[in-house]
Chains A and B, each alone.
Chain A
Amino acid sequence: MAIINRGFGGRRGTSDPRLPPGQTLVDDWPVLTAGPTPDISTDEWSFTITTEAGVQHRWDWTTLHDAGAEDIVTDIHCVTHWSRLGMSWRGVSVDRLFEDVETSCDFVMVRTHDGYTTNVPLDDLLEGQAWIATEADGEPLTAEHGGPARLLVPHLYFWKSAKWVAEMRMMPTDEPGFWEQNGYHLRGDPWREERYW
């Protein structure tokens, strides 16, 4: 299709080779959540990896930090067309949490403390590509942005970076999570504009 909108483009936003197609740079940090923001204290927060054998690996707020947090600087891209570049984060690499996990499954269902789910291939969570993040912009993650801890998978659209992350459950096949059942793409690569299906 080659529709040209005459007169459009006079007030264009910043262009930057780090921006995937269809994305616009923002300075603020918009909030997108399907329901109310849950209030979860660090005392009640926990994160569990559940394997296909039913084995559970569990971290609370203290043992998560014992696993070793690191600083991350990364770009984030929301399916609703905004991106932030060079954002500072701090979190624990998912690689560390999978060190003792025995699984032959290739897919993960990520569940949040308020009951939402999103599916992510395991290959997208390992090799330094994903973190359980507890800080952003140098501050503890606020509740509306998923605090006390959210998944951070910055190379995929940001709905995959589940807020209030609670569990990763191993799956033998790729099943759509909550957002994916509601029309969002199974994988969500922003450089391929995998927004919807």
Chain B
Amino acid sequence: MTERFRAGWHVGRVASRRPEAASAVRLAIDVPTWPGNHAGSHLDIRLTAPDGYQASRSYSIASSGPTTQVVLAVDEVPSGEVSPYLVHDLREGDELEVHGPLGRYFVWTPDDADPAPVQLIAGGSGVVPLFAMASAREQELQGADFRLLYSVRTPDDVFFADGLAALAKTRVDIVYTRRSAAGAPRRPGRLTRESLAELTFPAEAVPRIFVCGPTPFVETVSGWLSELGHDPARIRAERFGGSG
């Protein structure tokens, strides 16, 4: 990794917000002092109540590169205290404190010398950092072959639907677990080891693999990947589980 984006505290201002799938919001936040970030990294948001009470949560960043606008897609954890505020209460023009960029392991950088293909595997809102990686790859003329396998409940739950459809350098396969899109090639149902094998680079291609999603999803998928012959050292995982 040639470049290092140093983490620090910043004040951001919500530039825009729009619904992102059924239970989530996409936030574009202007952070004038943001140093930029690698695709796949995350940040902390710290909210402060009028009486001084604070709460912090980590969110993956959907954008990357040397930009001062950071894009997030925040899924509401109904029992949580931060994500419901971000999804329902935060308004355009509001300020908020962010700390980042954070994480230099679950990232992909365009100057990466590894020519092996890159397999991205997302469960639900785990698509956010992987979308950042696919988008970063899209900016490059040459580079590794990319595939994204995205497991999601229904078509209404898909994040970045337009952005995913526009990707020309990443092959995207979406597996719907509860309800399929009209004309989808397969019936709704959970990912299986067989469908995983069918929709991802084979072990012989020695891909680097990034898996992100809820803990049970990541545990299951990474176990299958090992059974399919992938070297565990080639698999990078990011799990989330819900304090929201």
Inter-chain CA distance A36–B222, complex, in Å, is 5
Inter-chain CA distance A24–B244, complex, in Å, is 10
Interchain CB contact under 8 A, B243 and A81: yes
CB-CB nearest in chain B for A26 = B243
Interchain CB contact under 8 A, B237 and A30: no
Inter-chain CA distance A120–B96, complex, in Å, is 34
User: Do most interface residues of chain B lie in helix, strand or loop, or is the interface mixed?
Assistant: mixed
Interchain CB contact under 8 A, A3 and B232: no
Interchain CB contact under 8 A, B215 and A12: no
Count A interface residues, CB 8 Å: 40
Inter-chain CA distance A22–B9, complex, in Å, is 14
A140 at interface (Cβ–Cβ under 8 A)? Answer: no
Interchain CB contact under 8 A, A1 and B232: no
Inter-chain CA distance A11–B50, complex, in Å, is 14
Count B interface residues, CB 8 Å: 48
- Select A38's contact among B7, B232, B236, beta carbons within 8 Å: B232
B54 at interface (Cβ–Cβ under 8 A)? Answer: yes
CB-CB contacts below 8 Å: B222-244 with A: 222-223, 225-226, 232-233, 235-237, 239-243
Q: How far is the CB of B128 from chain A (nearest CB, A)?
A: 15
Inter-chain CA distance A178–B104, complex, in Å, is 10
Interchain CB contact under 8 A, B225 and A3: no
Interchain CB contact under 8 A, A183 and B215: no
CB-CB nearest in chain A for B89 = A7
**How many inter-chain residue pairs (CB < 8 Å) link A and B?**
116
Residues on the B chain within 8 Å of A2, using CB: 48
CB-CB nearest in chain A for B58 = A80
A144 at interface (Cβ–Cβ under 8 A)? Answer: yes
A142-167 to B contact mask, C-beta < 8 Å, 1/0: 00100000000000000000000000
- Of listed A4, A8, A114, A144, residue having the most chain B CB within 10 A: A8
CB-CB nearest in chain A for B84 = A11
CB-CB nearest in chain A for B230 = A36
Interchain CB contact under 8 A, B102 and A30: no
Residues on the A chain within 8 Å of B50, using CB: 4, 6, 9
CB-CB contacts below 8 Å: B100-153 with A: 102-106
Interchain CB contact under 8 A, A3 and B81: no
CB-CB nearest in chain B for A178 = B105
Interchain CB contact under 8 A, B222 and A5: no
Further contacts, 7 of them, CB under 8 A, given A22-B55, A24-B243: A5-B48, A9-B50, A13-B55, A26-B243, A30-B240, A36-B223, A114-B232
Chain B interface (Cβ within 8 Å of chain A)?
7, 9, 11, 44, 46-51, 53-58, 80-81, 84-85, 89-90, 94-97, 99, 102-106, 215, 219, 222-223, 225-226, 232-233, 235-237, 239-243
Chain A interface (Cβ within 8 Å of chain B)?
1-9, 11-13, 15, 21-22, 24, 26, 28, 30-38, 80-82, 114-115, 144, 178, 181-183, 195-197
Q: Which 8 A-B pairs have the closest CB atoms?
A: A9-B49, A36-B222, A30-B241, A182-B105, A11-B81, A182-B104, A5-B47, A22-B56
